[in-house]
Amino acid sequence: MPRPPSSALSRRAVLLGGAAALAATSMSTLTTPRAAASATRPDVFTLGVASGDPTPDGVVLWTRLARDPHGRNGGMTEAAVDVDWQVADDERFTRVRAAGRTRTGPQDGYAVHVEVGGLPAGGTFFYRFGALGRLSRTGTTRTAPPPTALAPVDIAFASCANYEHGWFTAYRHLAQESPDLVLFLGDYLYEEAAGTYRAKSGNPRSYGDAEPTTVEGYRHRYALHHADPDLQAAHAAAPWITVFDDHEVQNNWAGDHPETPQRDFLARRAAAFRAWYENVPVRLPQRPRGSTIQCFRRLSWGATATFHMLDTRQYRDVQTSGPGAADPRRTITGGAQERWLVDGFRTSRARWDVLGQQVFFSQLDLVPGPPRGFNGDAWDGYPVERDRIVASWQRSRVRNAVVLSGDIHTHYVADIRADHDDPTSPVVGTELVSSSITSEGDGSDHSAEVAGALARNPHIRYGIARRGYLTARFTPERLQAAVRVVDRVSTPGAPVRTAATFTVADRTPGLQQA
């Protein structure tokens, strides 16, 4: 985290009446956009801005300074930099709600996290940063409604953004949706060495470096992503709630175990966690302590939706898809997180309880059988714990249960049944699975793999192997979901289209195709 500010100003917001005076004094670097555009000093906001983890009275603001996203330390040489920030009701910043100054430097990767408090609930706000004579772009953010409000919420959610596999066109379209929230469910970046992981449609871009194992290596990967204008647009459009999966560290890691043996894996995990924290808009409790990090957390959008954000990597047992997967002691969440989740169901009063998590939740038979074949890296590798969690939301009388997932590079929409081995068992929840932003390249509308999955798994209602994201509107009466796809990522600028839409009525589990 940044060291204490050099002035007497707090990192927290200076609110209301004090904001105008502050803007006139300490905020001198926050010039008008026209003046900033004419500045001769090099731009230090080349990685954009973002906000995240909104509450009814505040939000996290994020940026990371870099003169050269491709250079060492982002081209930054200063030992410390003071960064000013503002939050306003309007894009011209004539009605400033909060303002302040913080400090960053090389020990933080020149990243900035500001936890703004004291804002009105259910509001839309604009924010910006200033440093070293330059002004950042303006971002849009929102606070959550009051805890008892039944306000609709529009979300977009996505996963799996492999820089080498294509252009981030889907991020641009996601930004244009103007959602209230963006949920990112893992694989924000990929760790392989340049050219190692080839998409079927080719790799139109390159990392240009080796596989990262140090903080500096991971920082460089994040800088490549953040310099992308389409990702910057998505970051600036709405607050994000972000969790990680495997590729933010190393493919298919599980707890303290890498996929393949390597020296000092925990040191590598510590470096990856530190870089993840520096590069996403999360709060101080998410700051890692060495090779551990508190990623799972709970956020609410009034009384409409509670988002239970999970960590299915750090506490899991090593993967298996054989008979041993049915061992009731096996866990993908760890005991403490499972208890936290079950307690959240027990105390929830939300219309919709939403699990934001990384890997396919429902049963997914992958091979023509018998025998059946399952992905041990997904919840099928931990079926007894999955059954316990499903039973816990039924026992707690959760009103509507929805699981949001990523990882699999295919859009799927599924009914969650009490017993997936019995196609007549009751539907007790909904799973929406987002494909990738780019991973595996262009994809297709019709594939034998998806057709086979639908035939073997009747609870899965729809699938398409295109890139894109999903949108979902939660209201007191229903969930409305749209599968949004782009037909290519091998070249930039592809249009977006809706491949399918579904609804779920309040207290009536079961997907209806619209």
Residue-wise pLDDT for 251-282, tens only, equals: 999 999 999 999 999 999 999 999 999 999 99
Q: Is residue 32 pLDDT above 90, yes or no?
A: no
Q: Is residue 11 pLDDT above 50, yes or no?
A: no
| Cβ-proximal residues to 255 (8 Å cutoff; 6+ apart), any chain | 313, 314, 315, 316, 317, 318
**pTM to 2 decimals?**
0.94
* Contact criterion met (CB below 8 Å) for 215 and 274: yes
Residue-wise pLDDT for 440-498, tens only, equals: 999 999 999 999 999 999 999 999 999 999 999 999 999 999 999 999 999 999 999 99
In which band, very low, low, confident or very high, does the pLDDT at 363 lie, cut at 50, 70 and 90? very high
Residue-wise pLDDT for 366-391, tens only, equals: 999 899 999 999 999 999 999 999 99
Q: Are 172 and 132 members of one domain?
A: no
| Cβ-proximal residues to 261 (8 Å cutoff; 6+ apart), any chain | none
Q: Which residue has the tokens 């200076």?
A: 14
Q: Are 371 and 236 members of one domain?
A: yes
Q: Is residue 1 pLDDT above 60, yes or no?
A: no
Name the residue type at position 31: T
Q: Give the three-state DSSP class for 285.
A: helix
| Domain C-terminal end among 82, 117, 142 | 142
Q: Are 28 and 95 members of one domain?
A: yes
Q: Are 20 and 104 members of one domain?
A: yes
Average pLDDT over residues 209-237: 97
Query: What are the phi and psi torsion angles at 375 (to 5°)?
Result: -90, 110
Q: Are 113 and 194 members of one domain?
A: no
pLDDT for residue 443: 97
* Contact criterion met (CB below 8 Å) for 155 and 166: no
pLDDT for residue 139: 98
Q: Are 122 and 243 members of one domain?
A: no
Question: Residue 261: is it exposed, middle or buried by C-beta count within 10 angstroms (0-12/13-18/19+)?
Answer: exposed
| Cβ-proximal residues to 98 (8 Å cutoff; 6+ apart), any chain | 13, 14, 15, 19, 86, 87, 116, 118, 119
Q: Are 300 and 353 members of one domain?
A: yes
pLDDT for residue 39: 56
Q: How far is CA 206 from CA 52, 67, 167, 254, in A?
A: 29, 20, 11, 27
Which residues, listed in sequence order, are joined to residue 463 by a DSSP beta bridge? Answer: 412
- 1 within a domain of the structure (yes/no): no
Q: Is residue 10 pLDDT above 90, yes or no?
A: no
pLDDT for residue 18: 39
Two tokens, residue 71: 């250079």
- Is 39 or 313 the better-scoring residue by pLDDT? 313
Tell me, what CATH number does 421's domain have? 3.60.21.70
Q: Give me the domain span that covers residue 358.
A: 153-513
| Domain C-terminal end among 79, 112, 142 | 142
Tell me, what CATH number does 26's domain have? 2.60.40.380
Instruction: Return mean pLDDT, the chain.
Output: 93
8-state DSSP, 186: S
Q: Is residue 5 pLDDT above 50, yes or no?
A: no
Q: Is residue 21 pLDDT above 90, yes or no?
A: no
Q: Are 136 and 161 members of one domain?
A: no
| Domain C-terminal end among 142, 167, 195 | 142
Say how many C-beta atoms besides its own lie within 10 A of residue 89's C-beta: 16
Q: Is residue 507 pLDDT above 60, yes or no?
A: yes
Q: Is residue 22 pLDDT above 50, yes or no?
A: no
In which band, very low, low, confident or very high, does the pLDDT at 40 lie, cut at 50, 70 and 90? confident
CA–CA separation, 279 and 288 (whole Å): 13
Q: Which helix (H) or strand (E) holds 124?
A: strand 124-131
Average pLDDT over residues 282-298: 98
Angle made by CA atoms 64, 65, 71, in degrees to the nearest 5: 110
CA–CA separation, 119 and 101 (whole Å): 17
| Cβ-proximal residues to 30 (8 Å cutoff; 6+ apart), any chain | 23, 84, 86, 93, 128, 129, 130, 135
Question: Residue 75: is it exposed, middle or buried by C-beta count within 10 angstroms (0-12/13-18/19+)?
Answer: middle
- 4 within a domain of the structure (yes/no): no
Q: Are 111 and 169 members of one domain?
A: no
CA–CA separation, 377 and 245 (whole Å): 11
Q: Are 406 and 364 members of one domain?
A: yes
Q: Which residue has the tokens 């090593």?
A: 318
Q: Is residue 500 pLDDT above 50, yes or no?
A: yes
Q: How many domains does the chain have?
A: 2
Q: Are 85 and 61 members of one domain?
A: yes
